[in-house]
Structure 1
Amino acid sequence: MLNMRRLLVLLCFLSLAPLLVKPLNPSLNDDVLGLIVFKADVQDPKGKLASWDEDEDIACGWEGVKCNPRSNRVVELNLDGFSLSGHLGRGLLQLQSLRKLSLANNNLTGSINPNIARLDNLRVLDLSGNSLSGTIPDEFFQQCSSLRSISMADNKFSGKIPESLGSCSTLASVDLSFNQFSGSLPAGIWSLSALRMLDLSGNSLEGEIPEGIEGMKNLRALNLKGNRITGSIPGGIGSCLLLRSIDLSENSFSGSLPGTLQQLTLCHNLDLHGNALSGEIPESIGQIEALETLDLSANAFSGKLPSSLGNLVSLQVLNVSGNSLVGPLPVSLGSLKNLQVAGFSQNSFTGDLPHWIFKSSFQKLRALDLSSNSFSGQIQSDIGDFTGLQFLNMSNNSLTGPVPTSIGRLKTMDVLDLSDNWLNGSIPSEIAGATSLKELRLQRNELAGNIPASIEKCSSLTTLILSQNHLGGPIPSSMSKLGNLQIVDLSYNSLSGTLPKQLANLAHLITFNISHNQLQGQLPLGGFFNIISSSSVGGNPSLCGSPLNRSCPGVLPKPIVLNPNSTVDSTPGSLPPPLGHKRIILSISALIAIGAAAVIVIGVIAITVLNLRVRSISVSRSAAALTLSGAVDELFSGSPGTDANSGKLVMFSSMDPDFSTGAHALLNKDCELGRGGFGAVYRTVLRDGHPIAIKKLTVSSLVKSQDEFEREVRKLGKVRHSNLVALEGYYWTPSLQLLISEFVSGGSLYKHLHEASGGNANSSLSWNDRFNIILGTAKGLAHLHQMNIIHYNIKSSNVLLDSFSGEPKVADFGLARLLPMLDRYVLSSKIQSALGYMAPEFACRTVKITEKCDVYGFGVLALEIVTGKRPVEYMEDDVVVLCEMVRGALEEGRVEECVDKALNDSYPPEEAIPVMKLGLICTSQVPSNRPDMAEVVNILELIRCPSEGQEELV
């Protein structure tokens, strides 16, 4: 309890606190009272502030408090990780000698007091790791003459970063990362000439980097990761000669790399992944000799990898995955002896696997990803020398030859993926030496022989996928000793024999697919095998058990064997055969006859069943009624590559390709989502609950050959963007093609605009929703065009909305490439089924079809979203074409009348009208007059966040 004297002082202080910024007569008790008031505003569940006693005259002995030994004034308050909750009260304003205030990693909530930064002596302010929210008032930074370091990272602050930040000329470190800040970067941020570190990552900042960065002579670290910043990387960044770390990843930067980067000779980290950067990677990048990390992945870089990368002898991480790079890997990379992580996946690299990769100079290599390229040749046995390798992915190439036995020397290997190649030979028993192996993926190769029993020594194994090979022999019983197994796929091989009963003891199984082999006997009883789906075990005619609805025969007594050479004379006590010689004839001739008859009957039954099955499949395909539980049996019958009618299933991701789970229908009418020019789309759910969409193509007679089909689909499978529906895989037979893609839960934009219930379909879409849909669609198309993919079929039914984020995702892109020739009649009649989106050049055979056709369709789509009207509407005695209607209204000065009435005037005309004008520009009759989609994105972002002096869009 407070004594009466201190209670009166405290009450007086609290009543005057709103007026006190500096006490008129500071005393030793000012610090004590200020801290006690602070304590009163927070909760202290762990009792960390128990030593704060209001009866003491000074606070210097209190937990988390440090004082000046001469004046006994509080100069440092460090309460990091005290689990405090509550609000930041005004008591801290009394600590006039405070130099460091650190309240990081607590549970503080509420807004921030703008007067905290005005403490005259405050140098360091750290409020990171709390739940503070609201905006930072502009006056917060207006009187921060002494502040050197500020961190408000990992909170919930929102709104714009105050422009007044630029007035804190003494700031050397600013960390506002992982909040909800939006808007553009403060224009005056580069006036902080003393700034050494700037971290604004993990926000929603937009616009371009403001000019003036070349003046930041003291800048050491710049982190803008995970925002929405656009435009090019400013060339002035090369003037920041002291920069050690640059992270501009996961934004929307475009254009080429500035040549001035070569001047940053002290830079050791350059991370630009996840943008839209293009052009060739310049040779000059090899002059940044201090680089330890270079990540250029997930961009649109083209050309060859520069040989100058071999000069970066300090490089530890090199990642260029997910670009459009070509040619062989430069030999000079062999000099990167410090390399630990190397990513080259999802490009178009060619040639044999470079021998230098397997040299002993790469002893520090931990991860190597060469997947999804066009590498050929054999895997060298020297790979066993990478004793520290933990991750190796060479999948989806054209590698040949055997799996080297030296793989067994990779004691630290966690993941080995050699799938989707042409590897032959057997799985080496030496693989058991890789005792740390968690994932082994060898599917879709030409491997033969048995599964080695020695695999039991890979005790950490959780994933084993060996499907679609030519493996034979039994499933080794030793596999039951792999107690961590979760995913097993041995389907589409020639495995035989019975299943080891001990497999039922595998407690962590999620998937065990042994379909389409030659296994026989009874399924194991108990454990996972009590719930295994029929399609995971189907395609094994001699396998029995309840999941197959096929009972196993009971145990029969041993047959009586009669000796045909026995005589009528018998031993004493034996009974003479009552039928004599006739019994011998029954034993031999009758049994042979019965056996022959049984074979004939079984043959007749089998032929009848096969005929019925063929008819059933034919009828079910024409009626689109293949059930999910029978999908593998019906669609994937036979071993891959051995029958012209057998199917091939390819998945681009780690998604479990087992469609067997649940009782949903794969191509059942009840699961149909819609139909388009290419076919019907169905929804189904995988075993892990992950929903997917399956498109059954109905243009089979027009689809290319299998090789060309797979080449085009694999190209589409590499496309990844937040505004594009991801293609996850495909299934091929000559008569049936399925495309497996991401399921987007919110339905199509067309349904939201035109088919919702209640007679007011589009009322649920606010202006902000519509603008974001237009912008997101534009970004998706721009990304496609950067990858040289034309959509050909832009319309509102091909724009899907995510029900959680509201983000638009463009579907059905590039499917026209699956046709053997881009016939304009086919495109206009079969694909461009929605009248009104077609560019006029489709009617003219002399005009080349380019990305500008997509721009036209996008322009129509933008007008459709703003107006809520269909591209073409049929009245009783008239036909209204949307483009013509909006263009006429614009010419007559009444364009606002075109905005959807469902918005009820709750839209900003300064955005809606420019968007309609942009839509009309995109629908110009002359293709060259239409902007590129990248330009469209820039224009839309300027419409949403116009800069000063921005001219009105005309």
Structure 2
Amino acid sequence: MRSKKLCFSLLMISSLIPVALSVSSLLPQDEIETLKRIAAVLKKTDWNFSVDPCSQQAGWVTHNAPSGFENSVWCNNCSNNGSICHVTSIVLKSQNLVGTLPSEMASLPFLQEIDLTRNFLSGTIPDEWAVLPLVNFSLLGNSVSGQIPSWIGNITTLQNLALEANQFTGSLPKELGYLQNLQKMQFSANAFTGELPATFANLSNLVYFMIASNNFTGNIPQFLQNWSQIQRIDLQASGLKGPIPTGMPLLKNLIDLRISDITGNSTFPQLEGMQQMTYLTLRNCGIVGEIPPFIGAFLNLKRLDLTYNMLSGIIPSSLIHTNFIFLTSNNLSGPVPDWMLTSKNNIDLSYNNFTIEGPGQGCQKGNVNLVGSSYSDDNQGEDEPCLDTIPCNGDNWFFYINCGGNEASLYENNTHKIYEQDNDGTNGVSTFQSYSNWAYSSTGSFLDSRDNNNFIATATQNLSMPNSELYATARLSPLSLTYYGFCLINGNYSVKLHFAEIIINDFDGYVSPGRRIFDVYVQGKLVLKDFNIRDNANGSNKAIVKTFPAVVTRKRLEIRFQWTGKGTTTVPVTGTYGPLISAISVENLNPPSESNSSARLVIGITCAAIFAVVILVFFAWKKGYFRRKNAKDNDLRGLETISFSLRQIQAATSNFSSSNKIGEGGFGSVYKGRLADGTVIAVKQLSSKSSQGNQEFVNEIGMISALQHPNLVKLYGCCIEGNQLLLVYEYMENNSLARALYGPEQYQLKLDWSTRHQICVGIARGLAYLHEESMLKIVHRDIKATNVLLDIDLNPKISDFGLAKLDEKGNTHISTRIAGTIGYMAPEYATRGYLTEKADVYSFGIVALEIVTGKCVSSYMNEDQYHLLDVAHLAKEKEDLLSLVDKRLENQYNQVEAVGMIRVAILCAHSSPAHRPLMSSVVKMLTGEVSIPDFVPDPYRFRDSLGYGFGENLHEQATT
């Protein structure tokens, strides 16, 4: 009996098993099979198909996962009393998935969410997905490529579309503007091009719009003002141009506005009434004028970034409640407000014109970074730059820094080197830290990061490269990081920069989609543009050393790393971007040699130096070179170019023989000479009758000695002796471009088309360096063919910086003395004294026309008041641009290049500065890297309407 009962019980249990499985299996079998195929494509092995995928167990949902990591399949849309459900969500964040996007997902007809954030997926978006009723769709942080399919615009249910940090290309489909329910459009860090579609004006429910780090064209559209629900706009380095739309105040819900690196100058945008504003970034937007007081009315404002603009005036006191204030590299002036010096907020005022009362005490006061400011000491009677207040303990000819790490003792090239520690990571938001003979200055806070104070990176994987202790740590900066070397012996140096990407890691041979991109400057010269450590090192956790020459002339070396809004910011986690540097090695190429008599040698050199300084000071005092504290001639003390004696110069030029005279400039005569070692030189003898006098002399030395570029004339040195003020340049064998094109016939050169094109591109590169790449932002003010010299290979070099307007902070200003040449001067400068780098762009346009036509601009000026530019416009209207080409070329030229050069010239010489391109863009247009924009109507193209008819009065202004 007991045996029968047991058998009956077993029979009952066995009969219940399939029923139980049937009840627990909520997902239809066809969807289970689809999930299996998806798992195979994604190489996902942790999905356990022995249990129901809707069970939220065994790999289908990972509970309590770390932030940013999620592994879940969710079911919903149930029917038949909940016995049948469907997959509605697949979220696989940071799962190290590889392969392509599985088209099989289209077989899940109820799928509303696909989130594959931060993986290693590639390929394109499958067209099969067009049938899915998606609400949330994220591929953020992968390597998906191709164009965005237009069919996405048909998924009217879509609310969130995140494609940031991939490799998408092409223009955005206009169909996306039909997504009436779209709230989030996240397209940053791709390679999108073209203009934003006009249909985007219909996205009235948009809350987030992020398109930073792309290659879009056109202006920031006015239709942004239609987005009444918008809370965040990110246009950093998007490629769009200014100005900032005037309708921004209509966006009352805007909390976070980020715009950077737009071209053109404009006043501060009208943002009044935007009371919800919490984060405001307007970086490198060409903003002129003062900081408006209404910014202080943003009571929720936590972070203000107005760096790299042309702001002037004082700081409004209404900013007192803002946590982070970044104003570096503007033209702000006056005393630093007391409330800032005592504030606990993080403030960066570096590279402005502020004055700090009292004796020099370094470049950091409290939480305020003041690098580039000056101390005013009434007892001394003069201002002193804060960097000059750092004491020197003797001269140095090398220094080594283990950035972000502890001291490291290494043997390199049989030499023992100690890399000093640089491990203070307590506050890099707005910091200047000074050590024995070096210092660093850091600015910026990591946007959206949960840890704003993480300024030191530590490798998470074992490093196998030589000297790995140099790469185990690194210093980070979210915006700008500058290292300074002090008390260095003047001379030639080798600068080695050690890099290794230790944060953005690859996985199992698959390349991370993260891209850290930044620029590097050495002594103000751009040496690395859009530098990507991982690309250069061929992978993560691999060392790459970049070596650069540097000339130290004022006992100081400067190395700057700067983020310009490019690259990814969300991989591997949000807030990953900005410069990273592992170690720095700086060595003099000709260090002092050791000998048994080194002590006596040092004493002898010291005594000789002291004696020379005493003699120099005595003669300088006798000649009246010392003036009141506001006299700029004090700058001569810091200039340490090669000093020539008058006797050397006289010998080289045969005592300034008239037979050696090769030119007459606005500041005096120019002579050809030959030094004792055979070097051929050009000597500019500044006229003692020149009303500009020493001031222009100081400008020339100070600027040219700091600048080195293949398309700038090199300054060898100077001579200050008696009443002689002399500059010694490299000699240019082929004289000026003007003489080569249209000078006396016996001096003209037969310049073929390729040479002319090369000359035009070279001039553009030189100006781009002056305006954008050098730390000193310089407006030349007198670009013309006579100020472009040609070397023996007919390479162009810009000369005569005596008229250059040094503008260290890039400020627009009204010039009280017009300095230029009729015919080449921009109208706004000639008539109103309004000076920006766009004045040089205008002048370049005229020179480019001269290169094409072979004619001087003045050759037209006596013919019914016509101007060469007017002739070009007439040819444009007749659609006959090639009629302008120099007849001497006899049709032996590249017609496409010729038309392009003329179009660029007309664009550069537009009467409105806002429509003129940057010189860096001009270079790309001339070399074919980017297309040339269509002609912009120029209603004031004829010069009479711009005051050029008043030539006589204008000439008087230009020479007084």
TM superposition score normalised by structure 2: 0.52
1:157–1:873: structure 2 CA closer, same or farther, 3 Å change rule?
Answer: farther
Match of 1:34 in 2: 34
2:937, 2:34 → 1: CA distance?
A: 49
Q: Secondary structure at the match of 1:235?
A: coil
Match of 1:863 in 2: 849
Of 269-278 and 230-239, deviating more is 230-239
1:860, 1:162 → 2: CA distance?
A: 39
Query: Deviation digits for residues 681-701 of structure 1, max 9, x if unmatched?
Result: 9xxxxxxxxxxxxx9983555
Query: Which runs of no fewer than 5 residues in structure 2 stay unpaired?
Result: 1-25, 61-70, 79-83, 395-402, 407-419, 425-432, 440-469, 476-482, 491-547, 556-584, 627-631, 633-637, 643-648, 653-662, 673-680, 730-735, 743-747, 791-795, 807-814, 860-866, 943-960
Residue 199 of structure 1: how far off its partner (Å): 0.4
Match of 1:273 in 2: 283
CA contact (8 A) 2:228 2:253 kept: yes
Residue 855 of structure 1: how far off its partner (Å): 6.4
Q: Secondary structure at the match of 1:86?
A: strand
Is 1:933 the counterpart of 2:913 in the alignment?
A: yes
Alignment of 1:692-707 (within 5 A): 698-700=684-686
1:153, 1:908 → 2: CA distance?
A: 40
* Aligned residue-pair number: 646
Is 1:419 the counterpart of 2:387 in the alignment?
A: yes
2:855, 2:936 → 1: CA distance?
A: 35
CA contact (8 A) 2:228 2:252 kept: yes
Residue 857 of structure 1: how far off its partner (Å): 2.8
Is 1:323 the counterpart of 2:325 in the alignment?
A: no
Is 1:301 the counterpart of 2:298 in the alignment?
A: no
Selected match of 1:288 from 298, 310, 314? 298
1:296–1:700: structure 2 CA closer, same or farther, 3 Å change rule?
Answer: same
Query: Deviation digits for residues 599-635 of structure 1, max 9, x if unmatched?
Result: xxx99xx9xx99xxxxxxxxxxxxxxxxxxxxxx99x
Match of 1:329 in 2: none
Alignment of 1:45-124 (within 5 A): 49-52=44-47, 62-63=59-60, 64-68=71-75, 70=78, 71-116=84-129, 118-120=131-133, 122-124=134-136
Match of 1:791 in 2: 781
1:779–1:463: structure 2 CA closer, same or farther, 3 Å change rule?
Answer: closer
Selected match of 1:761 from 732, 749, 754? 754
1:224–1:401: structure 2 CA closer, same or farther, 3 Å change rule?
Answer: same
Q: One-letter code of the match for 2:487?
A: L
Is 1:136 the counterpart of 2:148 in the alignment?
A: yes
CA contact (8 A) 2:405 2:421 kept: no
Selected match of 2:238 from 227, 231, 255? 227
2:228, 2:819 → 1: CA distance?
A: 60
Selected match of 1:373 from 332, 337, 353? 353
The structure whose Rg is larger is: 1
Q: One-letter code of the match for 1:67?
A: W
CA contact (8 A) 1:84 1:107 kept: yes
1:943–1:952: structure 2 CA closer, same or farther, 3 Å change rule?
Answer: farther
Is 1:125 the counterpart of 2:137 in the alignment?
A: yes
2:682, 2:373 → 1: CA distance?
A: 24
Query: Deviation digits for residues 776-834 of structure 1, max 9, x if unmatched?
Result: 969987999x999552124598699xxxxxxx99887674559xxx9999977xxx9xx
Query: Deviation digits for residues 38-65 of structure 1, max 9, x if unmatched?
Result: 44445x4xxxx11347788857655534
Which protein is richer in strand relative to its size? 2
Alignment of 1:805-820 (within 5 A): 815-816=803-804
Q: One-letter code of the match for 1:761?
A: S
Is 1:151 the counterpart of 2:162 in the alignment?
A: yes
Match of 1:464 in 2: 436
Match of 1:212 in 2: 223
1:950, 1:882 → 2: CA distance?
A: 15
Match of 2:377 in 1: 400
CA contact (8 A) 1:790 1:854 kept: yes
1:933, 1:535 → 2: CA distance?
A: 47
Residue 299 of structure 1: how far off its partner (Å): 1.8
CA contact (8 A) 1:355 1:380 kept: no
Q: Secondary structure at the match of 2:117?
A: coil
Match of 1:203 in 2: 214
1:365–1:787: structure 2 CA closer, same or farther, 3 Å change rule?
Answer: same
1:183–1:89: structure 2 CA closer, same or farther, 3 Å change rule?
Answer: same
1:34–1:215: structure 2 CA closer, same or farther, 3 Å change rule?
Answer: same
Q: One-letter code of the match for 2:221?
A: P
1:854–1:177: structure 2 CA closer, same or farther, 3 Å change rule?
Answer: closer
1:244, 1:303 → 2: CA distance?
A: 27
Q: Secondary structure at the match of 2:253?
A: coil
CA contact (8 A) 2:216 2:238 kept: yes
1:379–1:809: structure 2 CA closer, same or farther, 3 Å change rule?
Answer: farther
1:157–1:531: structure 2 CA closer, same or farther, 3 Å change rule?
Answer: closer
1:287, 1:637 → 2: CA distance?
A: 59
Match of 1:559 in 2: none
1:30, 1:97 → 2: CA distance?
A: 13
Identity among equivalent pairs (%): 21
Q: One-letter code of the match for 1:169?
A: Q
1:371, 1:198 → 2: CA distance?
A: 32
CA contact (8 A) 1:917 1:953 kept: no
CA contact (8 A) 1:796 1:861 kept: no
Q: One-letter code of the match for 2:213?
A: G
1:135–1:912: structure 2 CA closer, same or farther, 3 Å change rule?
Answer: farther
Match of 2:487 in 1: 490
Match of 1:592 in 2: none
Match of 1:540 in 2: none
Selected match of 1:264 from 274, 292, 304? 274
Alignment of 1:331-480 (within 5 A): 347=332, 349-351=333-335, 354-359=337-342, 362=343, 364-369=344-349, 371-378=351-358, 386=366, 389=367, 392-400=369-377, 418-420=386-388, 463-465=435-437
CA contact (8 A) 2:177 2:197 kept: yes
Q: One-letter code of the match for 1:936?
A: R
Q: Secondary structure at the match of 2:221?
A: coil
CA contact (8 A) 1:838 1:853 kept: no
CA contact (8 A) 1:697 1:736 kept: no
Q: Secondary structure at the match of 1:112?
A: coil
1:114, 1:676 → 2: CA distance?
A: 71
1:733–1:400: structure 2 CA closer, same or farther, 3 Å change rule?
Answer: farther
1:376–1:196: structure 2 CA closer, same or farther, 3 Å change rule?
Answer: closer
1:384, 1:847 → 2: CA distance?
A: 43
1:817–1:277: structure 2 CA closer, same or farther, 3 Å change rule?
Answer: closer
Residue 249 of structure 1: how far off its partner (Å): 1.9
1:401–1:103: structure 2 CA closer, same or farther, 3 Å change rule?
Answer: farther
Query: Deviation digits for residues 238-262 of structure 1, max 9, x if unmatched?
Result: 1111111111122225422343x12
Higher relative contact order (CA 8 A, sep 6+): 2
CA contact (8 A) 1:177 1:200 kept: yes
1:118, 1:258 → 2: CA distance?
A: 43
Q: Secondary structure at the match of 1:275?
A: coil
2:132, 2:350 → 1: CA distance?
A: 56
CA contact (8 A) 1:791 1:812 kept: no
1:727–1:108: structure 2 CA closer, same or farther, 3 Å change rule?
Answer: farther
TM superposition score normalised by structure 1: 0.52
Residue 358 of structure 1: how far off its partner (Å): 4.0
CA contact (8 A) 2:177 2:200 kept: yes
1:153–1:377: structure 2 CA closer, same or farther, 3 Å change rule?
Answer: same
